[in-house]
Amino acid sequence: MLSCRKLLAASLAGAMLIAAAGCGGAGENPEAPEVALTEENSSLKNGHVFYDPPIQLNIARSVGPDAKFKPGQDVNKNDVTDWMLEEFGVKANYMWTTPTTDNAFYTKIMLSISAGEELPEFFSIPGAQAHELIDSGLMMPIDGLFEKHAGAKWKNAVAEVQDPWLAYTREGQVYAYPNFDYAYEHEDVMWIRDDWLEAAGMEAPKTLEDLRAVMDAFIHLDSSVTGFDKVYGFTAALQSNYTTWLGVNPVFGGFGAIPQIWMKDEAGDIVYGSTMPQIKTALAEFKDWIDKSYFPPEVGLMNEVAAYELFTSGRAGITMGATWCYDWPLQDVEKNVPGAKVGAYPIPNGPTGSFLQSGNGTHYQVVLFSKASKNPQVFFEITDYLYDNYAEPEKGSQFEYGFKDGFDYIVKDDGTVSYIEDDIPGGKASVLFFSAPMIPSQKIAIASYLAEGNEPETPAQIQKSVGWNQIFLDAARIVMSQKEYTVYDLFTGAPTPTMVEKLADLKAFEVSNFSNILYGKTGLDEGFDSWLSYWSSNGGVQITEEVRQWYKDAGGE
Amino acid sequence: MAVSQTASSAKVKPAKTKWRMETNWGLHAMLLPGVLITIVFCYVPMVGIAIAFQNFKPWLGFFNSPWLGLGNFERFFTSSSSVNVLINTVEIAVLKILTGLAVPIAFALLLNEIRVPRLKKTVQTMVYLPHFLSWVILAGILKDVLAVDGGIVNRMVSFFGGDPIFFFGDGNWFRVAVIVSNVWKEFGFSTIVYLAALTAVDTALYEAAMIDGAGRWKQTVHVTLPSIMPIIVVMFTLSLGNVLNAGFDQIYNLYTPMVYDKGDIIDTFVYRTAIVQANMSYGAAVGLFKSVVALVLILVSYKLADKFANYRIF
């Protein structure tokens, strides 16, 4: 064991050494020449750019289990790359691919940089890892390219996002294109066992008081109803991340503050949510829930999986989670427990008379462009084309039913369109370009439109609604109705110097201290005061100043 | 282990001074691959220790990353958690070393008394099987077995009228769970080493002891234990190098923020504060600190073993 670890460490260090030996190129020549856009060979085809002779695009990506190819196709040769070549004269050359797990892509990029190898012209990477690369000075600013190539549809989609570029702005220039996700779909609704509600003869809770009453009724349900000797009112992941999915951040928000995110206090100043006095009241509430067994006894140890397992095994009545939580994993309870039924309900209001919930950010991945990239504009040209033609396709257009007949859908002999895996010869493939053109509001807007009993009509509505069920539609309608209560973490920049040094320490103290409060190991007043004084004496004050300064510099309001 | 490699390769040099090419070249040739591998994979990469004194950035490389001197070490030792983390590490590791030494010896002595060879072999195999399970799997099992609500251990506790124990939420009980599960997982493996040593004890000694009227217990104390003492010393000396290794795999898979006060060790602390944040220099600095402490401890215990047990490992 020991020798294995040593060998591994040794070989890693060896790899780094070799990497360092060859690293002169990247380090000594940080000022890459101004990019010459090779547009001399471009002409127009169908109103968009076409390269003749074709240009080669040297890119890279991670390929996970969700990327499915047709038989005989691979990442360098498939329907999508063929289409890029025919439609745009762009030959996609994937220099390398990595698995999606274990940060493999990030590691490979870092090793390429240390070895001074050629970087992909552009690539997609989690936003949190992008900051380091941007600050390395090896990436290209892109605001000019976006302004030049993005059309109205694309710009409108980006305009839906609050502060779209803030996180990746350095001295007024934007260095990354965030792959914006659908908005609101990760926002929480309250999931309740409808059959328990019925057995208890109660309505879905609308306030915190109601919620307590319902939880109380649930834990006193007869075992002939629940099938268990002991059941719990509410299951949640309270281990260390208080804003995770299946957490309780909307209940915290009912008291007026969300822990672990940067938000504005009453005075309008940015503060770390966990230091706000409202959190103390919320902790007192949760302690009571543990004492009264509304929560399972191990709630302070539970992660998301433990939290949903309690629900899907039929031992907990309420949880709060995203719109997709019924599809996975919560509906399993209906298979595991005969007669179980799950329903989606609005988040109950807290003592403030309303509530807040933490938003999940506007994106996860961003696209970065190497300074040495010869054809960065291709990303924008193709993405713009997709926004114009694919995101909201016209009836009768090329993309009306999806990307390509036989690729992600099939027109059957009788003329009907099927998206079912088994109907498509060779299986359903997934589209493999960098970012599907997302209109953030599109998915939940369509779902809540359909929730009102409307039939899908437009091609986008028909395509998106494949496989949706009524419970998801209900959840979508609920998040649309409560979207103004979502607050986003205001700090999205690279970790500040004091954060790098102190934040992990502070967070460890925070969560262990809060757990001690929840389990009565320290008193509420004493515990919360010690957290506040720890925060201010161990770097919290400097971090707050740095965050406020960053927000001001990045242009937040 | 680090030391054994250092020492064994150090021994290669004096051997070379008396080297008789004409008779021994075959043996030396067989040694060569091992020596080369040790040099290439154990000594050359040590240059990488430099990053512990830098603020290493991959795009700047070794040569252009800014030097920090002892900055990374300073950061670790001035961090408000570091004292707590160090104490936890040493306490958990020492408990593991002691239990990891005592339990296998006791078990090997007991097993050695069994007269039915098949039973002996079966037990031996059964107890060392858990060694091959990973902590990821065992952690899942332990969390289930020790659950407050419905775990088999707490059901037993309740059956005898006790209050359920919050194993993974209470620091002291967490330590108990960690130490006991570690012993359970690993003692079978060390037992084999001692059993092997026991078979090598000269049976004439037992006969002589019996003639002198020694019973089973006296034989164990005066014949068996002294005979296997060299092996015990070797095992103890080698395990001392682990005094700052409290077992990342195990702790990481079992701990939660609720037990940071008693359960957070150097490795998990560094994982959270350095590795997760891709701060390689900081991680390297703490790793280097651990290695230096381990090296000193092994050298000291080696000298002590030489002096008091008159036993040289290398």
Contact B44 A132 (CB under 8 A): no
pLDDT at A119 over 60: yes
Q: Mean pLDDT, to the nearest integer, of A123-132?
A: 92
pLDDT at A29 over 70: no
pLDDT at A84 over 80: yes
B78 touches chain A (CB under 8 A): no
User: CB pairs below 8 Å between A and B: how many?
Assistant: 124
**Residue among A129, A298, A500 whose CB faces B169 most closely:** A298
Are A39 and A377 in contact, with CB atoms under 8 Å apart? yes
Give the pair of three-digit tokens for residue A434: 């960098």
**pLDDT by residue (tens digit) across A162-185?**
888 989 999 889 999 999 999 999
Judge whether B111 lies within some domain. yes
Identical fold, A30-183+362-440 and A188-358+488-495: yes
What pLDDT does B313 receive? 64
ipTM surpassing 0.85: no
B163 touches chain A (CB under 8 A): no
Contact B61 A301 (CB under 8 A): no
Residues 227-286 in B contacting A (C-alpha not used; CB under 8 Å): 241-242, 256-261, 264, 272-273, 276-279
Are A288 and A517 in contact, with CB atoms under 8 Å apart? no
CA angle, residues A191, A193, A194, in degrees to nearest 5: 105
Residues of B in contact with A3 (CB under 8 A): 1
What pLDDT does B18 receive? 57
Judge whether B311 lies within some domain. no
| Number of folded domains that form chain B | 1
**Residue among A138, A230, A508 whose CB faces B257 most closely:** A508
Can you give the CATH number for the domain in which B245 is found?
Answer: 1.10.3720.10
In the predicted model, residues of chain B with pLDDT beneath 50 are: 1-12, 15
Q: 3-state SS of A281-295?
A: HHHHHHHHHHHCCCC
Judge whether B48 lies within some domain. no
Judge whether B150 lies within some domain. yes
What pLDDT does B6 receive? 44
What pLDDT does A31 receive? 38
Q: How far is B175 from chain A (nearest CA, A)?
A: 16
Residues of B in contact with A114 (CB under 8 A): 58-59, 61
CATH topology of domain A30-183+362-440: D-Maltodextrin-Binding Protein; domain 2 (3.40.190)
**Residue among A7, A27, A504 whose CB faces B64 most closely:** A27
For A93, phi and psi rounded to 5 degrees? -120, 105
When computed from its CA atoms, the radius of gyration of chain B, rounded to whole angstroms, is 24
Question: pLDDT band at residue A432, thresholds of 50, 70 and 90?
Answer: low
Contact A501 B75 (CB under 8 A): yes
Question: Residues in chain A, how many?
Answer: 557
CATH topology of domain A188-358+488-495: D-Maltodextrin-Binding Protein; domain 2 (3.40.190)
Q: How far is A409 from chain B (nearest CA, A)?
A: 41
Q: For chain A, give every domain's residue range.
A: 30-183+362-440, 188-358+488-495
Alpha carbon B263 to chain centroid, angstroms: 17
The parent domain of residue B87 ranges over: 82-263
Q: Mean pLDDT, to the nearest integer, of A64-71?
A: 86
pLDDT at A20 over 60: no
What pLDDT does B266 receive? 92
pLDDT at A33 over 50: no
In percent, the amount of chain A with pLDDT more than 70 equals: 92
pLDDT at A64 over 90: no
Contact B41 A14 (CB under 8 A): yes
Give the pair of three-digit tokens for residue B82: 């570091």
Which of these, A368, A175, A504, lies nearest to B278 by C-alpha position?
Answer: A504
Residues of B in contact with A512 (CB under 8 A): 257-261
**pLDDT by residue (tens digit) across A2-17?**
344 443 443 333 333 3
B148 touches chain A (CB under 8 A): yes
Residues of B in contact with A538 (CB under 8 A): 80
What pLDDT does A14 receive? 37
Are A59 and A93 in contact, with CB atoms under 8 Å apart? yes
What pLDDT does A271 receive? 96
Alpha carbon A365 to chain centroid, angstroms: 8
Q: How far is B51 from chain A (nearest CA, A)?
A: 10
B77 touches chain A (CB under 8 A): no
A524 or A4, which is more confident? A524
* Least-confidence region, from A253-257, A529-533, B74-78: B74-78
Contact B169 A519 (CB under 8 A): yes
Judge whether B221 lies within some domain. yes
